[in-house]
Amino acid sequence: MSLKTPLPEVFRQYAPEGMQPEPTGEKPALKKLAGIRAVLFDVYGTLFQSGVGDISLAEEDRGTQREKLIRAAIKEAGLQVTCQKTPLAELFHDTIRAEQDIRREQGVDHPEVDILGVWEDLIGQLEAYELIRGRASRAALRAMAVHYEASVNPASPMPGALDTIEGLLDKKLSLGIVSNAQFYTPLLFEAFLEGSPHDLGFEEILCIWSYDHTVAKPSEKLFEVAAERLQALDGIAPKQTLYIGNDMLNDIMPAAKLGFKTALFAGDKRSLRLRKDDESCKGVKPDLVITELEQILECV
């Protein structure tokens, strides 16, 4: 691979062959929801299987394996780290934490970073101490980020994802996304579903990515943005919108607070987050529990 390799192709090359969801043992709880005009999805662990069950930034692992992978990502982007003792994984996560701390001080409840800025800061630190060779162009930074994410968090489409999207479009429903995400998240759709979210029928105005807003779920902010845009798009209210996600804390709780109908996707053990011991989720119950994405088509 090289800088000339299309970034969606990088995700395909790291994807495990024959990746399948792991059964959760949960039973579906389905019913017909009247009046639904829009459906919004989470991405990691819902539309796409994820090796870590979420976007990799949610997993702070400074182990030996991640150290190797971060060095490999830098090398794939055409740069060379000259010191083998420098703890790159530790520096990487410290940079993420430092940026999050700055935003917390600014009053952001669940701060999100822009991963390109994190990589730029990391490479800048290495350059300052003359520990790296090569030029960190914008293309190189994007390549590093994608190679690292694809290797740390291999992904593939959840079974039935494309059929579910097409079935909802056939029902004339507006589609959107509310996801903890980075610039490379939409590339998963190009890698595995052969088109950008917009190409597949998602409304661009309803695709809400956390890095664009410097705030992450479980903050209610992203759902407030969704509610405003749904109203502006076609006068769609939260009670007329179904949100589908795999995490009771990040997905179901904030969506329900804003008045959205909710569906817990319980189809993959790697990603299902029931959060039974989390006080924030006490008393929160999804309107639906689905174990296969296509079950949504029976309910709207």
Phi, psi for 132 (deg, rounded to 5): -150, 145
CB within 8 A of 129, min separation 6: which ones? none
Digits of tens for pLDDT over the chain (300 positions)? 557 799 999 999 999 988 999 999 999 999 999 999 999 999 999 999 999 999 888 766 657 899 999 999 999 999 999 999 999 999 999 999 999 999 999 999 999 999 999 999 999 999 999 999 998 999 999 999 999 999 999 999 999 999 999 999 999 999 999 999 999 999 999 999 989 999 999 999 999 999 999 999 999 999 999 999 999 999 999 999 999 999 999 999 999 999 999 999 999 999 999 999 999 999 999 999 999 999 999 999
Please report the pLDDT score of residue 135 as a whole number: 87
Please report the pLDDT score of residue 50 as a whole number: 93
User: Quick one: DSSP state of residue 46?
Assistant: T
Local structure of 149: helix, strand or coil: helix
CA atoms within 13 A on the CB side of 162: 13
Local structure of 55: helix, strand or coil: coil
Please report the pLDDT score of residue 61 as a whole number: 64
How are the residues of the chain apportioned to helix, strand and coil, as percentages rounded to the nearest 5? Answer: 45, 15, 40
C-beta neighbour count of 21 within 10 angstroms: 19
The CA distances from residue 142 to 16, 25, 160, 167, 250, in Å, are 22, 39, 30, 34, 27
7-55+154-299, CATH topology level: Rossmann fold (3.40.50)
Q: Where do the domains of the chain lie?
A: 7-55+154-299, 60-152
CB-count burial class (<10 Å; 0-12, 13-18, 19+) for 96: buried
With contact defined as beta carbons under 8 Å apart, do 99 and 113 qualify? Answer: yes
- DSSP codes of every residue in 243-289: EEESBIIIIIHHHHHTT-EEEEE---TTT-B--TT-GGGTT---SEE
Please report the pLDDT score of residue 1 as a whole number: 52
